[in-house]
């Protein structure tokens, strides 16, 4: 249970703690880091899908029995913050067939040290969709806030946005919530703080580098 009202924290089960122990370790090789990160990402996506509305629907089972079921309302779109966020796209595709994917590229401006939008590619009908914003790490929250502004300017309602990440810092959670109080953050873990270089502490290193390169 998270102490933050805007955060849905995955249950801290022994299994989840074990998965995080693997991906946090500097001794973990890339293949294992990818495999176990993907398992956590799948859990985050499933938690996100739990938040979507449904309506009642009558179905008939193979035994010819009528059953009271439900079906999802609305369409989904995943939007990854390039590049680390792209690591979460497959987990979404594994759960949602033919899901649309958008991309937002944000980098730090070397002169101002502030996040700057460089590129966006989003579905034309994104305003009509529920959006899973994908970025593995929530540190200061700068990139996530800028990406969320892009989505809102494209007509996405804040209550239809869910921000999924593997690890978050209190500073990022608080900054994001202050700006977007209606948006839920779905995360697998909350670390104690940021260090003096604005890195999540104790963290797990640079997620993008470990997932794609090392």
Residues with catalytic annotation?
A: 108, 112, 206, 209
* DSSP codes, 119-152: EEE--TTGGGEEEEEE-SEESS-HHHHHHHHHHH
d(CA 190, CA 193): 9
Return the SS3 of 184: strand
CB burial class (10 A; 0-12, 13-18, 19+) of residue 117? middle
Residue 168 pairs with which residues in a beta bridge?
Answer: 138, 190
With b for 16 or more beta-carbon neighbours within 10 A and e for fewer, the 137-156 pattern comes to: bbbbbbbbbbbbebbeebeb
* DSSP codes, 51-83: TS-EEEEEEE-TTS-EEEEEEE-SEEEEEEEET
Are 102 and 122 in contact, with CB atoms under 8 Å apart?
yes
Other Cβ atoms closer than 10 A to 60: 10
184-187 and 161-165: which strand pairing?
parallel
């Amino acid at each position: 249970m998270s102490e933050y009202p805007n955060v849905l924290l995955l249950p801290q089960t022994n299994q989840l703690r074990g998965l995080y122990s693997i991906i946090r370790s500097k001794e973990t090789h890339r293949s294992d880091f990818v495999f176990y990160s993907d398992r956590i990402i799948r859990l985050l996506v499933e938690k996100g899908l739990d938040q979507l509305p449904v309506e009642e629907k009558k179905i008939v089972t193979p035994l010819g029995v009528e059953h009271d079921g439900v079906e999802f309302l609305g369409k989904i779109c995943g939007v990854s913050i390039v590049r680390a966020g792209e690591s979460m796209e497959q987990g979404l595709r594994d759960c949602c067939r033919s899901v649309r994917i958008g991309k937002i590229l944000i980098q730090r401006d070397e002169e101002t040290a502030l996040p700057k939008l460089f590129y966006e590619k989003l579905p034309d009908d994104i305003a009509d969709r529920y959006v899973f914003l994908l970025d593995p790490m929530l540190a200061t929250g700068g990139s996530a806030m800028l990406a969320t502004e892009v989505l809102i300017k494209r007509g996405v309602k804040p209550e239809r946005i869910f921000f999924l990440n593997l690890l978050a810092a209190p500073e990022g959670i608080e900054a994001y919530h202050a700006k977007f109080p209606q948006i839920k953050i779905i995360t697998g873990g909350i670390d104690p703080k940021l260090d003096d270089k604005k890195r999540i502490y104790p963290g797990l290193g640079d997620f993008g580098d470990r997932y794609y390169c090392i």
